[in-house]
Every structure is written in C-alpha cells, then in structure tokens.
Structure 1
Amino acid sequence: MKLILHSTIAFVAMVSICFGAPFKSTDKCGYSACNLGQPDKLNVHIVPHTHDDVGWLKTVDQYFYGARNDIQHAAVQYILDSVIPALVENPDRRFIYVEMAFFWRWWLEQTEDMKNTVKQLVNSGHLEFISGGWCMNDEGVTHYSSIIDQHSLGAEFLRDEFGECGRPKLGWQIDPFGHSREVASLFAQMGFDGLFFGRVDFQDYAIRNLTKTMEMIWKGSANLGEQSWLFTGILPRVYTAPSSFCFDYRCRDEPIKDDPRLHDYDVDQRVQAFIDAAHIQARSFTTNHIMMTMGSDFHYENANEWFKNLEKLIKHVNAKQANGSDVNLLYSTPTCYLYALNNANKTWTTKTDDFFPISYSEHGLWNGYFTSRPALKRYERHSNNILQVTKQLNAFSNITLRQAFFPLNEAMGVAQHHDAVSGTEKQHVADDYALRLSDGIDSALYVINQAYKKLLPKENRSPVVPNQFLCQLSNISECLPIEGQDIFTLTIWNPTIQPVQHIVHVPVTKYYTIRNPTGEIIFADVHQISQIIKNIPGRTSSAQLEISFQTSIPALGFNTYYFQAISEIEIEKTSSIEVTYNEACILQNQNLRIEFDDQGNLKNITNRRKNFTVSFSAQGFYWYTSFPGNNSGPEFQASGAYFFRPLTPTPLPVSNTRNITCTYSNVSQKASIVYNEWASQEIRLYDGANNVEMEWIVGPIPIDDNFGKEIIMRYDTDIQTDGLFYTDANGREIIERKRDYRPSWNYTVYESVSGNYYPIPSRVWIKDNQRQMTILTDRSEGGSSMHDGSVELMIHRRTLYDDSQGVGEPMNETAYGKGLVICGKHFLIIEPPENSALYHRPTAQQLYMSPISTYALPAVSYTDYSNNFRQTWSALTAQMPYNVHLLTLDQLTVKVFLIRIEHYFELHEDDTFSKPVQVDLQFFFDSVGKIMDLTELTLSANLPLNDMNRLIWRTANDESSYSKPTHSKASLTNTIVTLNPMQIKTFQVTLE
C-alpha cells in the first residue's frame, strides 16, 4: 500500500506501543545524574543546546538535510552527528535535545551500534531530552487536543526507545511568542516538574528583573488546583549565550585564547567578563544558582567548537576560586538546574494570569500571528478533526492500521510548531505544511475506507463496499466526483459521544431524491449557489445548486443518505422558498429572532425563550490600515506576519453601502449581505437552533492603494461590559481580560489597539448581569473588545511590509494570481450568563470535532444497497453524560487501546453540569470487547499515574504544590471513573 511510507514502517517497527516492554534503563539519569554545585558559590549551570525550528525559513526536511543553504545555513542531521561523538569524548559534557520531529528523522538512519551509544548517553544523563514533543508548539493559536497529541507522539517514541531515562522532566518553550496558562496546566498534567521560556513582554521583564521574580509558581488552572501548578522560569537573553560568549561558527565572538606562548592570550579579560556577566544575571534571581543557555538556532553543527571553548571557560573561571571568586561553572541541564532550585528550599511568588500579548518593544506586539495565514489555521483544525475520526474508526472496526495513518499524526505534530500554524513562516514553508497535511489526510482516508469495509456491511453479507472519498472543498460548494452522478451516498460520522443535529450542504448539478437511514425520502432545500461563491478563484465546479437538509447523527456512529437523480419534471415542491431583496426582514425560529433593516444592518437578536434582546449599533466588516514602517526603530515598526500594528486606532468600514437578500425555506432562514466584490456574509438561522451561524467570505483584499489591510468582523452591542471581556485559552478554560490592563504589572499603553488583542482559539464573550454574547470561531483568530459592548475578531490580513522578525516576507498570501480568499464561520450565542456554558461548551466541542462526511458511488439500486449495508450505527449502547467529552480513542494493538476523556465544564459555570460526573469506560468498548485491565496514565500517556512523583514547591503564601494523584488504578471489577470540572483522564485499556 503506497500510502504507508518507508519512515512509517520504521516507526512502527521500532516501538512497542504499550507498557509491556519498554527499554530498560540501568544507569543514572534524570535528577540522580545532577551535579548541584557548591553551596557557598554562585553556581552557573552551563546548558549546551540547539534550538531547531521544525520549519520556518526552510521546510522541516530542508532543515534536517541542510538543503537550501542559500536561504539559511542549517542542517540538523550534522548537529546530531557532531554532538553524539563529542559527548562520548568527554564524560563531563551535557547536551539537551528538544524537537522529536528531527531526532526521529535522524534516528531512522542510525546503525544499531550508534543507537546503543545514544542509549548509553541517555542512561547516564549526558544526553537529555527536554519537553520531548514532536515540536516546540505555539501556545497562542494551538488547540489543546493537538498540543496533547504532538507531545504524546514524541513521548511515545522516547518511552519505547529509551525507557524512563528518555522521559522529559520539564517543558522548554524558549521561542514561542507568548505563553498560555492552559499550556502550563497541560504540562503539569503530563508530569512535568517545571517550565522554562524566553519571551515575555519587555515591560513585564523589566519589573521582574528588578524584583527578582523571574521564577515563580504558575497556577495553570482555575479549576484543577495544585495538580495544575508548575514551577516556571524566564530565561535572560531569550535563549542565547551572554554577550561575547557564543562559540558557534555562526557567531563573531572571539574564541578563548588560553596558550600564553601564543599571541592574543586573553584568558584574564575573558574570565573577568564572564564572572561579571554571571554576577549581573544573578541579581535578578533569588538563589545561588543561575542557568546560562549556551547555544542558539541550529548551533552545534561543529560541536567541538562549542565544547572546546566552554571547557576552557569552565577551567579558567573555576580556577579563580583559589583567588576568592565565588563563581562556579558546571556542565548542566535545565532539569538539573530545576532540581537545584527545588533543593534550595525557597518559597516562590505565584502567577494566575497568562503571558499574552507580549511586546517586543513599545510598538512591536507579537499578536499579528493570532490571525496570520487563516487558511492554514483552518486546514490544521480540519486535519485534526479527520485524525481523531480516523483513530475512532480504526478502533471500532478493530483493523489495527494505526501505522497507516502515521503520516497524518506526524504532519499534525509538525504543524503545531511555533512557526507553522502560527503563520510566521515563509510562503514556501507554509505550502509544505499544507502539503504534509494533505498527504496525511490521504493516508487517513485509506484507513477510513478499511474501517467502513468492516462497519458498513450487514452481518452475513459480503458485498463489494464502494470506495469512500472526502470532498474537502465543500466550503466553496465544490465536490467534483459527484457532479453528474445519478447515484451517490453520503455517510456522516459523528465523533462526539452525544447525538448531534447536523446541517448538510451538498453541491450538485442535478436534482435528487434523498433517502434517510430508514429509507424515507426526506425534505431538503435546493438553493442556487451564490455568484460570490462561483467567483472564488480556483473554483472549478460546474455545480449551480446546493442541497441542504438537517440530520441527526448518532453518538460515535454514522448515518448514510442515498441520493438518486430525478428529472425536473419529477420534482415535487418539498419546500416553498421565499426571497426578499433590500427590504427589512426578520429571521425567526423557536428560540431566536434576528432583525435587519433594509440597508442590511443587523439591528436586534432576541432570545425568545428568555425574553430579552441584544441590540446592535453596528455589525460587519472593517479594516485597519497596516503600519508601513521600515523597522529602523521602534517608532517605525511595520505590521507583518508576527506583529499587528495599525496605522490609526480607528478602523474603516469596508463599505458604506450593502445589499441584503433574505431567503426563507423549511431548513433555514438566511440573510445574505454583500458589501462589495470582495466581502460578504451570510447569516443563517436553522430550525430549532440555539445559535446564529455567520458565514463570511473575504478576499482578494485589494492593495491597489499600496496599503496593507487587516480585516476585522465587528459586533457592537448595547451590553454593558465595563471594559471587561473573556477569551479562551487553547480551547479550554476562560480568562477574564480588561482593556488597557495587565494583572501582573503596571501597564503603560503604547499601542491602544494591538495592546488589547488576544488569541481567540475557540471563543470570546462579553456580558452584563442579564445578557451574554458568545462568539465561537472555526479557527484561531486575534480579537478584542475595543469599547464597551463591542467584540472584534481579525479574520484576514494582507500586509505589504515585512516586520523584521526574520521571516523576510510580508504577510501577502495569493492564490491563482490574486489575493487569497478566505471563507469562515462564527457562531453567535445569546443567553443569560448563567446559562451560556450549557450552549457554548458543547457547540465549541462540536466545532473542532465536527461530523466528517464521506461520499461513495455504489452504482446499485436503493433496494440492493439497503439489503446489504447498514445505514446507521453507533458504538454506544448507553447515553453518556452531557458534560463528558471523548478526547482520544486510539487502538494501540489488537487488544490494547488508549482513551482520554474529559469533563469540559468549568467550576461554577452551570448549576448542573459543573459538578463531578461519573462515567463507565466499558460503555466506550461495548462494540469491541470487555475491559480486562485498566491503567491510568499521565496526560502524555508515557507513565502510569501511580508512578508520577512531581517535585514539591512552596509558595510565598505557604501553599504546597504537591498533589499526589488519586484514583490512579481502577479495579478490574469497576470501570467507573469520576471526573471533576476541567479534568482530563487518560487510560490504557486492555480488552478480553
């Protein structure tokens, strides 16, 4: 099977999958391998490291091989080739490695002798894996599901190759452009003892530097208590060496010249300079230990150059102790530095908010990337959706093809990199990320087909199962394989554990009758596809019509719908469609009423169940003009891929006039509003829905005036907000924001707009005592509330200047010779604050775990199809709790599965669903077998929870961070587990 790559087979062959046979470690590693220095000295932990971007200016494979050095000289394979023998040469040396996407590529090419050498280095603590994810993931725009997956992928590889000595002890997020409280919580649940990163706001850094609060206990969750707390440290100089002490061939710093027989002997000057640097750094920290990162981007291609100079430095600095110096240098790792801090028995300050947004300078805020490359951001989210469905189908069909969809797993791991889904890479690299996801989806589709070959045929029947295919351009009403077909089927898989109401949109060139799973002909609307959709560059479909109908898909199961073409003569009017043009109109169902005036302005949304109204003074598209600076100083900072900086604080309307068309049918009512030839929206209300669907199309953004533009969708209401709004962290917990304010320091406003922009991976809301408006997004976007009652979300960007952060290109995406067109959705929920979570929590889960549709061309009559194939099926035989979500279901071997379940409500969000809940894990496996053994694991699934013993820390308030896991081993006779609000539990399940 061609889709199984050579590397995929190698990966599967090298791992044991479950906890039956890990590599046994025999020597000292981890904390037991640490040198804690001297108690009466300032101990400087020298940490040799390389930071290897998993794609940025070059693709991940170009970086690995050292290709395209005309763009950037970087070759990861040579770094590892050089470091390993250097570590063997001197047993004092230490080195850390972080990005498993690269290490795995290198590992596949090594001999058994080399692998054994590396294992010995890992076992003895000379080579240490830090963080251990497939990449160093972004924290602003990533979704928690994908963060967990990419760390689990790396953790599985390390566990199965290196055993306990390969298990990382801490997070290492030295390069991302802001840091999320949710990521800290996830890391704590993975069993990490600490986290170090390099980038914070320059104002925040200055205050922490003066007050010796560079290290703290970060309380990562408002719901989980001590189990989410994480010791966190901020690195000086981001992650580079002190000035003049970089010893890579890339650096211009002088080597240590320590032979007095030769000219240019400089030991005395260099030693004193280093001692001074150590004392200056120590002023910002509270113990007699400091960490100095010795390395940078793609360093150590010639490891000898670094190590030789470091050893000279260590030797000569430590020799000064005989003359009274208190500086003691030692090779170390972040793990050993963390352990030294823990042994210092200090108390630490705490932090409960996050590190967003962060400013590089007065006018350079790292928050343009919250929106940059919106198409890639959506494609990554869609790919995760397909990955989770593929895992489920593989598990329930018991076909054990986990290795076949490894390309999608790997592509998703690469895509989480902080220069990938963030949108801060060169264009050719963004294209490569998308290509990897596309190839990965192809591998997943093979597994989906094999699964349906098991699940679709009825018992005792063995028909030829038609091939399933995806129509991934359905968002532009294009599905070429079904065009002109007389018969096709649509099978929809629901990956959630609750039945879902799902609206189907099928682009067609003919009229069809549609039979549901019971054989009944169902009502459907047939609409003309809008001219705006037809005009999207690259659309090749000849479909003029779109069929829409409402479905109810069973939990963890599928429905199949059978389409058969009919002639126009045979068409019976199943729905009456009414249309108005440029008139005031009202959309209304059982729950909501939406009012527009004849100019296309949204005026009111009324919650009919609760009898209150939210009035809108404005709703629609605006743009900020991008600042066109030359980056020669902070005041000339341009807006680009990383930074968002508007030229003026007031956005301009995309158009002062608009046309509105309102359409009424059985399935939906909608208002189609056209602003101009490049901006339009369609506001839909479906029968029985509790939310408003806002679909928008933006692009090509015009730049004929030589100005870049940052397009926002703004919602201005009469809700009284008092400067407050609320945003999610990576799709999970909610954080309160206040305009022009930072909880951790006295904030000086330099940029009034971008200084208030935050990442919106999933949702944002505003509220007063009676009303809450929640907006859900289908991808990560930047957003804010720039005045009371208002929410704005940036949905597209096209800038003309590079922002001088390294990428070297403006954020100016094109396709088919024109500016890129983006189609997207927002969902509005209007409820009382005490009711809102009941609606926005499950809707958000269904957005990132949407039903996945596959089509097939069976070429048989409906009678034959229904006789031979199941048309509906569910893996669940019992109703599952409303506040529980199935996060992961992955078949590891024939009888061993990995399952993650979560309570996805927060404390105090809902009177009913914010309480602890019990769930029987056996319900998930009734269709596969009976649970015989159950082991609870850490979140990254690389350690039994019983074996997790995190370091104990104390706060300045005399609180302890120690939280011993409870309920870590379920008995064989009891598969019922309890989940508290926001708790995720991970289990390895063995069936009969």
Structure 2
Amino acid sequence: MYTVIHCAIAIAFAAFISGCLGAPFKSVNTCGYDVCNLGQSDKLNVHIVPHTHDDVGWLKTVDQYYYGTRNDIQHAAVQYILDSVIQALLENPDRRFIYVEIAFFWRWWMQQTEDMQNTVRKLVNEGHLEFISGGWSMNDEGVTHYSSIIDQHSLGAEFLRDQFGECGRPKLGWQIDPFGHSREVASLFAHMGFDGLFFGRVDFQDYAERNRTKRMEMIWKGSANLGAQSWLFTGILPRVYTAPQSFCFDYRCSDEPIKDDPHLYDYNVPERVQAFIDAAHIQARSYTTNHIMMTMGSDFHYENANEWFKNLEKLIKYVNAQQANGSDVNLFYSTPTCYLYALNKANQTWTTKTDDFFPISFSQHGLWTGYFTSRPALKRYERYSNNILQVTRQLNAFSNSTLRQAIFPLNEAMGIVQHHDAVSGTEKQHVANDYAQRLSEGIDSVIYVINEAYKKLLSKENQSLPVPTQFLCHFSNISECLPIEGQDSFTLTIWNPTIQPIEDMIRVPVTKNYTIRNPTGEFIVAELIPISTPMKNIPGRTSSAQYELLFRAPIPALGFNTYYFQVKTDITIEKKSTIKVTHNEACILQNQHLRIEFDDQGNLNNITNQNRNFTVLFSAQGLYWYTSFPGNNSSPEFQASGAYFFRPLTSNTLPVSNSRNITCTYTNQVQKALIIYNNWASQEIKLYDGARIAEIEWIVGPIPIEDNIGKEIIMRYDTDIQSNGLFYTDANGREVLERKRDYRSTWNYTVYENVSGNYYPIASRIWIKDNKRQITILTDRSEGGSSMHDGSVELMIHRRTLYDDSQGVGEPMNETAYDKGLVICGKHFLIVEPPEYSALYHRPIAQHLYMNSISTYALPNLSYDNYSNSFRQTWSALTESMPYNVHLLTFDQLTSKVFLIRIEHYFEFNEDDTYSKSVEVDLQSLFRNLGKIIYLLELTLGGNLPLNDMKRLVWQTIDNESSYSKSTDSNSLKSTVVTLNPMQIRTFQVTLQ
C-alpha cells in the first residue's frame, strides 16, 4: 500500500527533484579548487580537515543516530552535529567543514526553514561547507553490486546538484571506514568525474611497507579495460580518519584543550605546539610532497562544534607563530579537495596500482573476511530489492506514469542499505532488522507504481473492466504464495527487465492442479512436482502447498507475458503426471548439453560437457564447516571469529554429516538430485531441459550450536582441474581479477591465517581453469570465497558464531528467526566450459541474476475468454532485441518527456571472439512507444554533470604515463546511435518530442 508515510517522504523528495533539469545555484570562483589555500612552497603545509564520520546505522538505527535516541548504546545525534557545525561556520569565515552522508544531511535539510536553507547555500557557495563523496551513504566496497553503488551515489548527487549547483558537486571519494577497497569502485568514481579518492583502512602489512617506502599515495588504475579514464589518484590516511594522538578536541575525548592564558599554572601552549610540530614531521615522513592532511574528527564528532573549532584555531595560531623561530610547519583550514589540488600542483610523479585492497588484515589473526558472508539473508534481500527497484523504474517509464516520487522510498532505503555497516552484515541485530524493514516498506511503496503502470500496459483500448490488482509473492523462493492458494483461477504476469528475450523456468507453488494458457491462449506443458521436504520444513513457512507447477516461459525483451491459470476440475492433484524417482541409488542427470553423475552415497562424481567432449572429475562436492575460533580478543593470538572477521580454529573442514541420502527425480523438464545431509543441511542439484548450466539450491540452518561451537558453513567443489594456485573473482559484479593463493602483488606477504587470508568477496562469480576446462560458480548474493587447493573452489554461505570479534558491534554473528537459528535458502549456478567460451555464458547469466524477471500475480475473477478480450497479455518496448553484449542498466523517467538512461557493454576485452568487440546501439529503439528523441545529453556516470563539463585533474606516473583523456563531444551528438566499448557504461539524459 502507498501509505501516508510514503506520501510524506515522496512529497519531500519531489521538492528537490523539481529542478532536475537545471542547477539553480551556480557560482564562479567562490568554491572548489578556486578558493583553495595551497600553502607556502618552503613550508610543510598541514591541511587541517574538520569532519565527522556519521554511520548510516551501525550500533543504532539510522533514526536513532539522527535524533540521538538510545544514547545508552552510543551517544550520537546527527541533527545536533549539523545544527552546531552550521552555527560555528557562520561565526568565522576562515572555518571549513566537510560532510559526507547525504542520507542524514537530506533529512536535516528538509526540516530547515527557507532562511536557514539559503544560509547553508551561502556557506556552500563560499566554500566553507563542502560535500565530499556525496553518496546517500558511505558504501561498502566488498559485497555491494555496482548497480547499487551507482544508484546510491546518483541519489545523493542529484540532491546536491538541485540544491547547491556546481558548488555542491563532490570532486572526490571519501571511503574512510570500509573494510577493504575495490578496484571497480575506483573505476566507478573516476567515471563519476571524481579527481581522487581517500580511505583509511588497508592491510597492516601493506600499510607498513607503504609507510616505509613513501607510497601512501598513488595512481590507481581502476579498470583493465577502460584506460586512463578509469585512473584515480588515491591516498591512504595515516590514522584511518582520526586526529593525531592527544589532539582530539571533541567532548568525548579525554585530551587536554589548548590552555593559552600564560598566568595559569597549567598553561600548555609550548608543550602542545611542540607535540603537534613533532606529529606533523612524523606524518610527513610517509608522504612525498610538502603537503599533508590531518583529519580532525571521528565518529559522530562536532555535536559541540565550538569546542573543536576553538581549539583548532588556537593550534593554528600558536603553531604558525613558531615560523618566526624557524619552524617550517604551516597550518590552515582546508578540505580533502584542496589537499588533492595541492598535490596536483606539486609537479610530482606517482607510483601506480593495478590490483585491489582485498582482503585486509587488522592484525596477524584479524582478517576482515567474515563480513563477505555475514547476514546472508539481508544480502539476498538487498539484491532482490534492487531487482524490484529497477523493474519499477522501467514500468513507470514505459507506461509514462510519471510516479518517480513514489519510487523514492525504495530508492532511499537501498541507498541506506549500501552503507558499510549495513549490507556488510556488521551491524547490531536490531539495526539489521531496521534495514530489512526499510526495504520492505520501500517495496510496499512501489507496488502502487507497478499497479498504476500495469493499468496502462495491460489495458486494451475501449475496454471498461478495471485492471486486476497485481501483487508480489515475496516468499516464492521457499515455494510459498499464500494469496493464490485454493484459488480457482489467477494470472501470472512476468516482466523481463533485460533488452534480450529470455526463457525462464517458472515454479509456482500450488495446492491444486491447473491448466496454464500462454499469451496466445494455447495450453502449455507444465509439470506438477513435489516440493522437497527440506523446503517444506523451513521455519516460518506457512504454506500448505505440497507441489510446484513447473513450466517454461519465454518473455519478450523489456516486456511482459501473462499466463492464465485455471483449476483442473477433472483431475485431482493426486493424479499427477508420471515422475520417475530413485532413492539412494547411483543416478545420472542428463540433457542435451551436460551429463552429471552421482554415486549411491550422494557424491558428485563428474560433470561432462557433451558439446565440447570433456569431463571434470570431482573428488568432493557439498557442504562443510570450519570451526570458529573462540577467542577473548585480549591479544592477536586470541582473536575470535565474528561479524567482521573470519578466523577458523584450524584450516581443516568437517563435513556437515558423515552420511547422506540422495533422491533423484526425473521429469521431462527437469532432472534433479536432492541430497539431504541431516535435519539442517541439504542441497538439490537441478538440470533443466536444454540448459547449459546446473543449478544448485541449498538450504542450511538452523546451524546447531548446542555443542558450544561456532560454525562457518561452506559449499565446496573439488575437481581435477590443474589451477596452479590461481583463481578468479569478480569485483562488485563487473570486471574479474586474478588471485594467487598466499600472495600479494604489492608487498612481501607473510601468511598468518592461511584460510581467511585467501578469502575474497564474491559478488557474482568465481572460477578456476586449466588449459582446456573452466568451472565457474555464480552466486545469487555476495559471499566470501576462495580456492584453498588446486582444483577446488569454496564459497561460504552461512555462519553462526558464539563470540564477538571486538570490532565494535558487541554481538556474535548469531542470527535467529522463529525462535531458532536462521535458515538460509540460496542458489549457485555451475558452468563447465572451455575458458574461451565461458564468458559467453557467465556474463549474461550474471546480469540476469541481478536483473531477474519479476512476477506479479492477480486474481481477476474472470473467465479466460473475458480476461483475454479485455486485457493485453503480451507487450514489449522493443521491436527487435538489442545486441547480446549490451545491458540496460538504468531506465528512469525524470519528467513526462525527460529520461535518464544508462547502457553498458558487459564483456571485457579478449573474453570472447565476438562479444568483446565494440558495438553500436540505437537509443531511439528504447523509446519506440514513448516518442522521438529530440535531444541527447551525455552525462557523467553519476548523472549530475554533462560529460563535456567534466574536467578532471591530470596526473603523471613514474613511468611517464599521463592520466589525460579527452572527453566525448557529448553535447553535439547528432545521432541516436552510440558506440560502446568493452566494459563501458554511458549515461544519457534523453528528451523526447
């Protein structure tokens, strides 16, 4: 339901999207680089950066943090921070402050008077208040998907553009708290027009080496495909993001203030000045120019901004006064933007980096690799919510419903959940519940948009019947859809959000048997298949459905098909079609492409690719667990495994059961092997007719802890592939990086944890290969994964620990539901192909997994004849499918005639002989049903700046390379046909006639 709360939020959002086509607050030479203090050439210039780091949920919910409730958990109140900072900036024109988390600032902004808003605009336009990074939240980089990273940054960028114009546009990324850093994020930031990136957390071994060799700042080559356009200047902060020791002036800190009355017995200016000068010189040893940046602030600081600023101004005054006595230290208020600009003007060459910053170690035994899997249900729900968000945008646009403001609650919830203590799983349980609630309410709000869209798209001309109300069945993944149970008829409408036609295997849980008509009225073949016992036993499942109807559904590109279900009156459910079933016998699953063999103990023996005529042998496949280390965190050797850290007690795994039962089922459309290990672990391997991939659906939980042992559950695939210590993982769902076991390319790596030290975030896929064979596993959510032995791939799918890992959350990773340990149901998709053909399958399948078809049901209470006469049953926005290697990333209606679209080439160079080539796309084909394109404006990736206006800083590397790259002459696009190169995303504002 489109609730009153959603309406209020949507109205507030409409207030800032009303100016989406213009930037009302332009300014010249009053902000950004134009007002930067570049210091003195003969001094050590210390850029003092006042800032606050405001987690968008962590120990408290986002609401509790904003209002300052539950201070018994953590004293934090963002509304007072912003009140205090604004007042402090007005008191002294020299002061500077940066703000990052737009989710909080937007909320505060909507509560201000017009006079206060104008006051803040003046502060922004004069460079006193500066927005950095500008995302709705400071997103995690390991487990987030690139689609959602772009969305949440675009949401913040749109607000800043519409309220503050060019002076509100962030010029760099500020990822000071995430637990590892992705090369893909660097590339995305570069294409958003950022000039640089600063962050705080790196591996302690990496930090020591960079600190020693003055390589704390570098040029990060963010893409192996996109050249200098993806390069990003990157700097590592020396203390994560805190002030130098003893110089924290927040009321939470115990450091002494600057006491500058010489008549006081505890007058401390000389001691404080010398201590700061020493700290500046120590920091400068790690950096290569005469500029350093000192972050002055920390978590939720500046609730009393006067306390900070008053002491900082004393520090600036008295330290600079020592220049008369020969000191070379020069302090001044600054921002990361100005620090970056000073580095750019320093006539310096820089080292480069081509890999990423994963995984990172806090200490010898504390690796931030547990969060790759923590809270797997929330990770899946976030991915599902993004799927619905993208589909809703498309439906709104193609129906010309102009209901963008009603989509805002889901868009905003998704922005919040990208936070590095949200989808990462590193928050308290009540906060995780709040994130899930926000997503749920956001989805509720877009049901209204979906229905308004289908009222137009389903309706035939001159028909008077109301369009049946559509609804989602959120528990289809556990074979439950309560509203259709017992109904004599219902419809299923499936929307395909991709620009190629697809064919899905659809599973509908039922309590009766039905005939199914396709959009042309023909009866289609469907099979009634029993729902597995592990699925029926999932806690919380209330459905009485014992069967699923399985059928093949072709869906047109960017369109829908409707299927009409009518109960069979002459055949009861017991008289189902013939199904062959075997129990605890050796069995073979086989279709036109693959042959999968199991023995009578449920062991997967081999998979044969019949088209390529090769076989992969398996020595083991299935579910295992690591024992969580039960430490007290008193020292590194007693580090426990918890929400952030994955630390197994030993490197050995145990099978979840020493015995298993196998049941193989054969029908015309699917063959499957159900392997039950015990009452809390099972997997079902499915091979659909005509499929080139195998689907592995697993159900794990409640993980038993009665033995007081925490357990980290993995799915492992052990093969005879000679992988030579190498494996390959994706970055945020896009480019793939080569990994080498027990190795880091940028420093001499000492192995302290041989398992978790080899774990990497898997947002969509992981593979191993030899010269002739490649096995690729795709995931339905982000998981941690590795190859611990040659020929082996493992993915952590669930975890339940009994100890906190001392990183602040204060709780073990012990999720429960329905008074039991949490049960997780998920999927892997297995591809066995030669390396040269693998991308042909894993690239489109990965895209389809996160942009899946969305099914809505309806109860029309009409006969099929009446329904088909009144309503359209098939529709597509396209007259013909688009190129196979192109994906429609965003299709968002801004106004009735203006749209924001993103299209991408989703193959890398040299992945495929055909599809790794450049391709042309006619954008007009996307608007066949909407109108003629009369104007195309190409924008930066964030959608907040014309591409022609993007003038990034140019950097030189030590190898005499330049980051300079010429922008496309985007304002003069004479044609609607555009070219895409491998891995390129292009963003356009489209105006229709």
TM-score (norm 1): 0.99
Q: Residue 648 of structure 1 is aligned with which of 634, 647, 650?
A: 650
Q: Which amino acid aligns with 1:56?
A: W
Tell whether 2:895 aligns with 1:916: no
Whether the 8 Å contact between 1:17 and 1:156 is mirrored in structure 2 is no
Tell whether 2:30 aligns with 1:28: yes
User: Which residue pairs with 1:267 in the alignment?
Assistant: 269
User: Which residue pairs with 1:989 in the alignment?
Assistant: 990
Shift of residue 22 of structure 1?
3.1
Q: Residue 407 of structure 2 is aligned with which of 405, 408, 419?
A: 405
Whether the 8 Å contact between 1:936 and 1:970 is mirrored in structure 2 is no
Whether the 8 Å contact between 1:696 and 1:824 is mirrored in structure 2 is yes
Whether the 8 Å contact between 1:949 and 1:964 is mirrored in structure 2 is no
Q: 1:15-164 to 2 correspondence within 5 Å?
A: 15-26=17-28, 28-164=30-166
The 10-residue stretch of structure 1 (524-533 or 597-606) with the greater mean CA deviation from structure 2: 524-533
Distance 2:246 2:572 in 1: 82
Shift of residue 571 of structure 1?
7.4
Question: Alpha carbon RMSD of aligned pairs, Å?
Answer: 1.0
Distance 1:438 1:852 in 2: 16
Q: Which amino acid aligns with 2:611?
A: R
1:200-248 deviation per Cα after TM superposition (whole angstroms, max 9, x unaligned) = 0000000000000000000000000000000000000100000000000
Q: Which amino acid aligns with 1:503?
A: M
Distance 1:726 1:866 in 2: 49
Aligned sequence identity (%)? 81
Q: Residue 591 of structure 1 is aligned with which of 585, 590, 593?
A: 593
1:90-149 deviation per Cα after TM superposition (whole angstroms, max 9, x unaligned) = 000000000000000000000111101100100011000000000000000000000000
Whether the 8 Å contact between 1:488 and 1:563 is mirrored in structure 2 is yes
User: Which residue pairs with 2:838 in the alignment?
Assistant: 836
Q: Which amino acid aligns with 1:322?
A: A
1:934-987 deviation per Cα after TM superposition (whole angstroms, max 9, x unaligned) = 000000000000000000000000000011212423534x10000000000000
User: Which residue pairs with 2:714 in the alignment?
Assistant: 712
Shift of residue 879 of structure 1?
2.2
Q: 1:638-787 to 2 correspondence within 5 Å?
A: 638-787=640-789
Secondary structure at the aligned position of 1:558 is classed as strand
Secondary structure at the aligned position of 2:696 is classed as strand
Secondary structure at the aligned position of 1:569 is classed as coil
Distance 1:744 1:908 in 2: 26
Distance 1:905 1:415 in 2: 28
Distance 2:69 2:502 in 1: 48
Q: Which amino acid aligns with 1:462?
A: S
1:539-584 deviation per Cα after TM superposition (whole angstroms, max 9, x unaligned) = 1111111111111111000010001112353779885311111111
Secondary structure at the aligned position of 1:899 is classed as strand
Q: 1:509-588 to 2 correspondence within 5 Å?
A: 509-567=511-569, 569=571, 575-588=577-590
Aligned CA distance change for structure 1 residues 402 and 17 (closer, same or farther; 3 Å):
farther
User: Which residue pairs with 1:977 in the alignment?
Assistant: 978
Q: Which amino acid aligns with 1:977?
A: V
1:899-951 deviation per Cα after TM superposition (whole angstroms, max 9, x unaligned) = 00000000000000000000000010111111010000000000000000000
Distance 1:691 1:600 in 2: 20
Q: Which amino acid aligns with 1:878?
A: E
User: Which residue pairs with 2:204 in the alignment?
Assistant: 202
The 10-residue stretch of structure 1 (758-767 or 456-465) with the greater mean CA deviation from structure 2: 456-465
Distance 1:413 1:885 in 2: 22
Q: Residue 605 of structure 2 is aligned with which of 600, 603, 627?
A: 603
User: Which residue pairs with 2:321 in the alignment?
Assistant: 319
Distance 2:57 2:327 in 1: 43
Distance 2:734 2:263 in 1: 64
Distance 1:185 1:16 in 2: 30
- Regions of 4+ moved over 6 Å: 570-574
Q: Which amino acid aligns with 1:433?
A: Y
Shift of residue 405 of structure 1?
1.2
Q: Which amino acid aligns with 1:991?
A: L
Distance 2:29 2:370 in 1: 47
Shift of residue 878 of structure 1?
2.0
Secondary structure at the aligned position of 1:5 is classed as helix
Q: Which amino acid aligns with 2:945?
A: L
Distance 2:133 2:246 in 1: 28
Whether the 8 Å contact between 1:18 and 1:896 is mirrored in structure 2 is no
Q: 1:452-491 to 2 correspondence within 5 Å?
A: 452-491=454-493
Distance 1:139 1:384 in 2: 17
Distance 2:357 2:29 in 1: 39
Q: Residue 255 of structure 1 is aligned with which of 252, 257, 260?
A: 257
Q: Residue 295 of structure 2 is aligned with which of 293, 302, 305?
A: 293
Whether the 8 Å contact between 1:577 and 1:663 is mirrored in structure 2 is yes
Whether the 8 Å contact between 2:528 and 2:576 is mirrored in structure 1 is no
Distance 1:550 1:605 in 2: 24
Distance 2:220 2:356 in 1: 9
Secondary structure at the aligned position of 1:315 is classed as helix
Distance 1:113 1:259 in 2: 39
User: Which residue pairs with 2:381 in the alignment?
Assistant: 379
Q: Which amino acid aligns with 1:979?
A: L
Whether the 8 Å contact between 2:878 and 2:925 is mirrored in structure 1 is yes
Q: 1:877-916 to 2 correspondence within 5 Å?
A: 877-916=879-918
The 10-residue stretch of structure 1 (221-230 or 878-887) with the greater mean CA deviation from structure 2: 878-887
Distance 1:125 1:453 in 2: 49
Q: Which amino acid aligns with 2:265?
A: H
Q: Which amino acid aligns with 2:384?
A: H
Aligned CA distance change for structure 1 residues 750 and 289 (closer, same or farther; 3 Å):
same
Shift of residue 520 of structure 1?
0.9
Whether the 8 Å contact between 2:23 and 2:166 is mirrored in structure 1 is no
Shift of residue 26 of structure 1?
4.8
Q: Across the two proteins, how many residue pairs are aligned to each other?
A: 991
User: Which residue pairs with 1:425 in the alignment?
Assistant: 427
Whether the 8 Å contact between 2:219 and 2:957 is mirrored in structure 1 is yes
Distance 1:773 1:669 in 2: 21
Distance 2:844 2:195 in 1: 32
Distance 2:363 2:973 in 1: 56
Q: Which amino acid aligns with 2:989?
A: Q
Whether the 8 Å contact between 1:138 and 1:417 is mirrored in structure 2 is yes
Whether the 8 Å contact between 2:186 and 2:220 is mirrored in structure 1 is yes
Q: Which amino acid aligns with 2:691?
A: A
TM-score (norm 2): 0.99
Q: Which amino acid aligns with 1:948?
A: M
1:150-196 deviation per Cα after TM superposition (whole angstroms, max 9, x unaligned) = 00000000000000000000000000000000000000000000000
Aligned CA distance change for structure 1 residues 486 and 945 (closer, same or farther; 3 Å):
same
Distance 2:754 2:852 in 1: 37
Q: 1:946-965 to 2 correspondence within 5 Å?
A: 946-965=948-967
Secondary structure at the aligned position of 2:658 is classed as coil
Shift of residue 531 of structure 1?
1.8
Secondary structure at the aligned position of 1:969 is classed as helix
Q: 1:178-257 to 2 correspondence within 5 Å?
A: 178-257=180-259
Shift of residue 5 of structure 1?
3.1
Distance 1:605 1:576 in 2: 27
* 5+ residue gaps, structure 2: none
Distance 2:483 2:825 in 1: 22
Q: Which amino acid aligns with 2:979?
A: T
Distance 2:768 2:972 in 1: 42
Distance 2:884 2:71 in 1: 53
Q: Which amino acid aligns with 1:902?
A: E
